[in-house]
Structure 1
Amino acid sequence: MNRDLFARHRAVLPDWLALYYEDPLEITHGEGRHVWDAAGNKYLDFFGGILTTMTAHALPEVTKAVAEQAGRINHSSTLYLNRPMVELAERVAHVSGIPDARVFFTTSGTEANDTALLLATAYRRSNAILAMRNSYHGRSFSAVGITGNRGWSPTSLSPLQTLYVHGGVRTRGPYAHLDDRDFVDACVADLEDLLGHTRTPAALIAEPVQGVGGFTSPPDGLYAAFREVLHERGILWIADEVQTGWGRTGEHFWGWQAHGRNGPPDIVTFAKGIGNGMSIGGVIARAEIMNCLDANSISTFGGTQVTMAAGLANLNHLLEHDLQGNARRVGGLLIERLRAVAAQVPHVREVRGRGLMIGVELTLPGTDEAAPEAATAVLEEARAGGLLIGKGGGHSTSVLRIAPPMSLTVAEAEEGAAILERALRSI
């Protein structure tokens, strides 16, 4: 570890800015699905900068696009016409599935969700928001106010009235014992009962797969069933696709499509992977919703030329190389491999996921009690074996989060699974 850099970090940055590992890691460069630290150690990256490195480290198409655009102009703000921003907006609107879509670019998923909340509350003239238990939507004041995961919500103060709904976690809570159909019915009944006791909310915001919450998800169709209830009351549906978008779940290009029998959401937010490490977020909405604001607004750094060039090159690469299909195929193999390992490790409660978005939940053997110390031990042991993974979860940080770049090969999946197997057996 670079102890001097660690000391400097601690001296000038907030205490609440979390660092992984007892000896924090400085990553200096990457290529493909691998990264290297300052000491020259090589790691297979199964977390991709928290799902941001979507295609590959140092992807030639993206680095070339960034260099060429930086050689012309980096930035001019949204006060001027911006060809890369228009071109990327056209592509995003086309793949969104939202009719007459408008796109607004931001610099992060937090800012995208913040904008979606602004649009929904202004459009519906209501400051009440429905959110899911165990959810995470960012670190702004409004996003923290609708986050249903206590570990990421440092204050109860909020400009919004938030009402939390059951359904984001399939295998915990009062409905966990029900089969899928009865689970959906119970969650819908809970939503209807909740709406009978409050003023009409502006929107429901939901992650199709809860990311920070430990890669949990409801049965397919839950949000479609919710949509029927919401539509009757004019309540909007916001799909937070910051972690699930662009084909990562394998089966669908957007996570909401597993719940899409009633059409697309009213608003979709995105970020992370589209920039492949560049700071891009955004909101997609029907024109009537996007255009509802009656005051001026700009985005100083949202849509800046160099990030838009990166996003366009990255999206083109993803579509041309069918990385969604690769996530489905390789992710399916990886999940099955990890489930075979888990059957022999008493600490593993569940292996769950879709595509290359996989969670391994650890508990004390024979119980449902979270085991965060075990998760930390596995994280450390995996690093020692040359593998980087993440962790999260709503019941303490006891879920290992696995989300490699979507170009992961079968051989790399097997290599990572073998390292993770040894790390799991070590506890």
Structure 2
Amino acid sequence: MTDLYARHKAVLPDWLALYYEDPIEITHGEGRHVWDAKGNKYLDFFGGILTTMTAHALPEVTKAVSEQAGRIIHSSTLYLNRPMVELAERIAHLSGIPDARVFFTTSGTEANDTALLLATAYRQSNQILAMRNSYHGRSFTTVGITGNKGWSPTSLSPLQTLYVHGGVRTRGPYADLSDDEFIAACVADLEDLLGHVRSPAALIAEPIQGVGGFTAPPDGLFAAFREVLRERGILWISDEVQTGWGRTGEHFWGWQAHAVSGPPDMLTFAKGIGNGTSIGGVVASAEIMNCLDSNSISTFGGSPVTMAAGLANLTYLLEHDLQGNARRVGGLLIERLRAIAAQLDGVREVRGRGLMIGIELVKPGTDEANPEGAAAVLEAAREEGLLIGKGGGHNTSVLRIAPPLSLTVAEAEEGAAILERALRRATQ
């Protein structure tokens, strides 16, 4: 045990998870690579949980942060804040929500918490619809709507949460149906549920479930849900903390894959927009955002430094078409991984879009989740210089791959080759 690991265990909670039997200390990064305290170099296929969206030590972002820090680091939302207004203007436009307002937070958890506050206040209801296998954060309210028991340490909640089908396509009672039949069954389930309860405030849903193992419903599910919700005045919150900013390649926002007639009532964001700085937020129409009848602020949300980072990062992402790169390089990487998986009994499925890819592992010859295999692949990949993540609603048996969106074809091939060797070592 390293000295730093011993000190970590002595002062931090036991439930603060660390990857690897011998945890690593990451000291610096550049591009798509990071280095640990021992000098080992790694190709980063997880980006600090989908947070380093463009690249490590991106000069444009570090320059913006340094220059802003040299002027003023903090003032709070009690004063006018030019970088916050400028970033809000750009996000409001990109959201597609009419007459949009933006409230900045410091994390996705806080963003979802704010969206729940707005929805319940606007609708005067504490009932929330959420998806099974979902994850929305670690605050008391967001834990209360999370549909993944591995990340839900308490059943106590100020909200009444009602879970609906649809987040996982290939498991559960509707797995054997065609896509159209799957959507119809999920809609029927939603309509049946709504016939038994008072009117919920909102449905909150990830277009692709992140912690749940990068699972997703067929395209069109949320469009069908939207019609049912709209008839009853129920709001739709799209949790874009992991799917936003072009990561899925095909679309800028995850909700756009569902051919919905218009944007969601609210969308939440975080992670990638700050490229490692702490930015989260919620976008809603003025009518919904302004429904609160008391004062509120965010001491650290909208910090001049993080807003400067977000502006520089968003500009770089758009000017270099990183969404297009995620589509092209991510498409190549998914096909390469599917070809590898076809040769291995222990891989159930390779799924995802763009540079958001999941590899679900099972015990060979069965459909039983294989969390031990996932942990072994994680270790084997690290030994060869590749960092990946893991997750999933069935005992953490899904490898999560989400590199910075500037990933090159050569780096994708390098990572796929390491993954192939790690999968063969750990699953056979």
TM norm structure 2 = 0.99
- Partner Cα separation in structure 2 for residue 365 and residue 374 of structure 1: 10
Query: How big is the shift at 1:320?
Result: 0.2
Query: How big is the shift at 1:250?
Result: 0.3
Query: What amino acid does structure 2 have at the position aligned with 1:158?
Result: S
Deviations 1:223-268 (A, max 9, x none): 0000000000000000000000000000000000012422100000
- Partner Cα separation in structure 2 for residue 83 and residue 263 of structure 1: 30
Query: What amino acid does structure 1 have at the position aligned with 2:387?
Result: L
2:222–2:260 CA contact under 8 A, matched in 1: no
Deviations 1:357-411 (A, max 9, x none): 0000000112111000000000000000100000000001100000000000000
Question: Is residue 406 of structure 2 the alignment partner of residue 407 of structure 1?
Answer: yes
Question: Is residue 396 of structure 2 the alignment partner of residue 397 of structure 1?
Answer: yes
Query: How big is the shift at 1:69?
Result: 0.1
Which position in structure 1 is the counterpart of 2:417? 418
2:219–2:259 CA contact under 8 A, matched in 1: no
Which position in structure 1 is the counterpart of 2:364? 365
- Partner Cα separation in structure 1 for residue 85 and residue 204 of structure 2: 27
- Partner Cα separation in structure 2 for residue 172 and residue 271 of structure 1: 29
- Partner Cα separation in structure 2 for residue 301 and residue 196 of structure 1: 42
Deviations 1:152-208 (A, max 9, x none): 000000000000000000000000000000000000000000000100100000000
- Partner Cα separation in structure 2 for residue 84 and residue 393 of structure 1: 37
- Partner Cα separation in structure 2 for residue 9 and residue 313 of structure 1: 34
The unaligned stretches of length 5 or more in structure 1 are none
Which position in structure 2 is the counterpart of 1:148? 147
Which position in structure 2 is the counterpart of 1:386? 385
The 10-residue stretch of structure 1 (195-204 or 252-261) with the greater mean CA deviation from structure 2: 252-261
Which position in structure 1 is the counterpart of 2:253? 254
- Partner Cα separation in structure 1 for residue 83 and residue 112 of structure 2: 23
Within 5 Å, give how 1:148-227 maps onto structure 2.
148-227=147-226
Task: Describe the SS at the equivalent of 1:61.
Answer: helix
Which position in structure 2 is the counterpart of 1:287? 286
Task: Describe the SS at the equivalent of 1:231.
Answer: helix
- Partner Cα separation in structure 1 for residue 365 and residue 123 of structure 2: 48
Within 5 Å, give how 1:53-68 maps onto structure 2.
53-68=52-67
Which position in structure 1 is the counterpart of 2:242? 243
Query: What amino acid does structure 2 have at the position aligned with 1:187?
Result: C
Which position in structure 2 is the counterpart of 1:43? 42
Question: Is residue 337 of structure 2 the alignment partner of residue 338 of structure 1?
Answer: yes
Which position in structure 2 is the counterpart of 1:30? 29
Question: Is residue 233 of structure 2 the alignment partner of residue 234 of structure 1?
Answer: yes
- Partner Cα separation in structure 2 for residue 122 and residue 261 of structure 1: 25
- Partner Cα separation in structure 2 for residue 259 and residue 193 of structure 1: 22
Question: Is residue 167 of structure 2 the alignment partner of residue 139 of structure 1?
Answer: no
Task: Describe the SS at the equivalent of 2:360.
Answer: strand
Question: Is residue 116 of structure 2 the alignment partner of residue 117 of structure 1?
Answer: yes
Query: What amino acid does structure 2 have at the position aligned with 1:249?
Result: T
Deviations 1:111-140 (A, max 9, x none): 000000000000000000000000000000
- Partner Cα separation in structure 2 for residue 10 and residue 312 of structure 1: 37
- Partner Cα separation in structure 2 for residue 196 and residue 395 of structure 1: 30
- Partner Cα separation in structure 1 for residue 68 and residue 366 of structure 2: 55
Which position in structure 2 is the counterpart of 1:273? 272
Task: Describe the SS at the equivalent of 2:86.
Answer: helix
- Partner Cα separation in structure 1 for residue 306 and residue 148 of structure 2: 31
- Partner Cα separation in structure 2 for residue 396 and residue 138 of structure 1: 18
Task: Describe the SS at the equivalent of 1:30.
Answer: strand
- Partner Cα separation in structure 1 for residue 308 and residue 141 of structure 2: 30
Query: How big is the shift at 1:314?
Result: 0.1
Query: How big is the shift at 1:148?
Result: 0.2
Which position in structure 2 is the counterpart of 1:74? 73
Deviations 1:279-336 (A, max 9, x none): 0000000000000000100000000000000000000000000000000000000000
- Partner Cα separation in structure 1 for residue 309 and residue 259 of structure 2: 29
- Partner Cα separation in structure 1 for residue 246 and residue 37 of structure 2: 32
Tell me how many residue pairs correspond in the alignment. Answer: 426
Which position in structure 1 is the counterpart of 2:9? 10
Query: How big is the shift at 1:43?
Result: 0.2
Task: Describe the SS at the equivalent of 2:71.
Answer: coil
Question: Is residue 311 of structure 2 the alignment partner of residue 306 of structure 1?
Answer: no
Task: Describe the SS at the equivalent of 1:71.
Answer: helix
The 10-residue stretch of structure 1 (219-228 or 259-268) with the greater mean CA deviation from structure 2: 259-268
- Partner Cα separation in structure 1 for residue 183 and residue 367 of structure 2: 22
Query: What amino acid does structure 2 have at the position aligned with 1:197?
Result: H
Query: What amino acid does structure 2 have at the position aligned with 1:347?
Result: G
- Partner Cα separation in structure 2 for residue 329 and residue 216 of structure 1: 21
2:391–2:400 CA contact under 8 A, matched in 1: yes
The unaligned stretches of length 5 or more in structure 2 are none
TM norm structure 1 = 0.99
In structure 2, relative to structure 1, the CA distance for the partners of 1:116 and 1:137 (3 Å cut) is same
- Partner Cα separation in structure 1 for residue 257 and residue 119 of structure 2: 23
Task: Describe the SS at the equivalent of 1:426.
Answer: helix
Within 5 Å, give how 1:317-336 maps onto structure 2.
317-336=316-335
- Partner Cα separation in structure 1 for residue 91 and residue 237 of structure 2: 16
RMSD value, Cα: 0.5
Query: How big is the shift at 1:83?
Result: 0.2
- Partner Cα separation in structure 2 for residue 324 and residue 50 of structure 1: 18
Identity between Structure 1 and Structure 2 (%)? 87
Which position in structure 2 is the counterpart of 1:85? 84
- Partner Cα separation in structure 2 for residue 363 and residue 294 of structure 1: 51
Task: Describe the SS at the equivalent of 1:162.
Answer: strand
Query: What amino acid does structure 2 have at the position aligned with 1:21?
Result: Y
